[in-house]
Each structure stands twice: as C-alpha cells, then as structure tokens.
C-alpha cells in the first residue's frame, strides 16, 4: 500500500476549467483527464489524502459518480469549496479540518506530516521536522524545504507520493520563513 496526496481537483468546476487555460477543453474533458491521471498512479489498495476542494459547482450526483470511479482509500481534509455534496461522500473516515499523520518512506523511515487545505507559515511539529502539505494556492506559492502545494495545478494534475514530495522539498530554494529568519535551511 502506498500513500498519495492531492488537492484542488475541482471536479465539475466550469470556471476553474476556464482558468486552467483550456488545457482540457471542457468540464467533461477536465474531469476525465483528472480521473485517468489519478487512477494511473493510485491503486485500489492505496491510501490517498485529498487536501480539499474535491469539487465545486457540481451536483451531488456528479460528485458521487466521480468519487466512485477514483481508486484508493480516500480521505478528505476539507477545503473552502467542500460543502455537503462533498462531505457526505463515502470517505474512508469522516472529513477533517487538518491532520497530523506519520507515513513510512521508501527507506522505512517514519515521516511526520501536517496536512491542511491552506498553507501555513508555521505549523504543529514544525521544529520536530514535520513537513507541511497543502493545496488552495493553485501553484502560486514556491515550495520550501519543509512545505509544498500538492494540488493538481502543482503536480501535473495527478496525485503525488511521499518520495516526490520529499524530492520537491529537498530541491526547494527557500526555507520556511521561521527557519530563514534564524539563518537555517
């Protein structure tokens, strides 16, 4: 079982599809492309954390139909567009506002993560090497050595695994502000 992360899929969101510069042509094309990219990396037995904004301006039936087609044990950290039509989907456990989890990396090392829809300047466990994953910004904020946007726009419109998160954070040119102010990376 692998663990993946994503955010800001915005299934059914015509306004967002327009802002994504017509990459997918239509709402249907957008949704089909994101479903295909999700299922290409996430297997049915994998765990996937969706960090908010699963859908927007989509009917309950559309949300349910998309949800049923997506692989994995799906968990939700609620985003600003996640209303009852999303919250009432059959998530693996009830949706939450944020989460602190530990995931084992490829080398068998435990990695602490703080998951939120929103980016934080500092977060629980910050000084104990906890990494922060978020969405909401649609790839508008640069990664730091301990935080990054795992939203669809920032990850080639597909979920990302822990190894890729760590690689992005390792390659980041910036440290979180609290570390940079102290001369740390």
> What integer best gives the mean pLDDT of the chain?
94
User: In this predicted model, what pLDDT tens digit does every residue of 63-97 receive, in sequence order?
Assistant: 999 999 999 999 999 999 999 999 999 999 999 99
Number of domains in the chain: 1
Q: Is residue 185 in some structural domain?
A: no
What residues make up the domain containing 10?
A: 3-180
Q: Is residue 65 in some structural domain?
A: yes
Q: Is residue 146 in some structural domain?
A: yes
pLDDT in tens, the chain (185 residues): 899 999 999 999 988 888 876 788 899 999 999 999 999 999 999 999 999 999 998 999 999 999 999 999 999 999 999 999 999 999 999 999 999 999 999 899 999 999 999 999 999 999 999 999 999 999 999 999 999 999 999 999 999 999 999 999 999 999 888 788 787 76
pTM for the model: 0.95
The pLDDT score that the predictor gives to residue 161 is: 97
CATH number of the domain bearing residue 120: 3.60.21.10
Q: How far is the CA of 169 from the CAs of 34, 80, 125, 146, 166, in angstroms?
A: 24, 25, 16, 6, 5
């Amino acid at each position: 079982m692998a663990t993946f992360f994503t955010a800001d899929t915005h299934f059914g969101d015509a306004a967002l599809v327009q802002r994504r510069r017509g990459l997918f042509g239509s709402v249907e094309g957008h949704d089909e492309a994101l479903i295909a990219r999700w299922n290409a990396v996430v297997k049915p037995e994998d765990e996937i954390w969706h960090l908010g904004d699963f859908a927007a301006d989509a009917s309950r039936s559309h949300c349910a139909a998309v949800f049923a087609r997506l692989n994995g044990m799906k968990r939700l950290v609620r985003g600003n567009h996640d209303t009852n039509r999303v919250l009432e989907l059959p998530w693996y456990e009830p949706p939450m506002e944020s989460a602190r989890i530990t995931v084992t990396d490829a080398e068998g090392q435990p990695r602490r993560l703080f998951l939120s829809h929103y980016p934080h300047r500092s977060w629980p466990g910050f000084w104990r090497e906890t990494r922060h994953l978020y969405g909401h910004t649609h790839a508008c904020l640069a990664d730091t050595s301990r935080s990054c946007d795992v939203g669809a726009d920032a990850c080639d419109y597909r979920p990302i695994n822990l190894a890729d998160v760590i690689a992005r954070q390792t390659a980041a040119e910036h440290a979180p502000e609290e570390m940079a102010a102290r001369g740390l990376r």
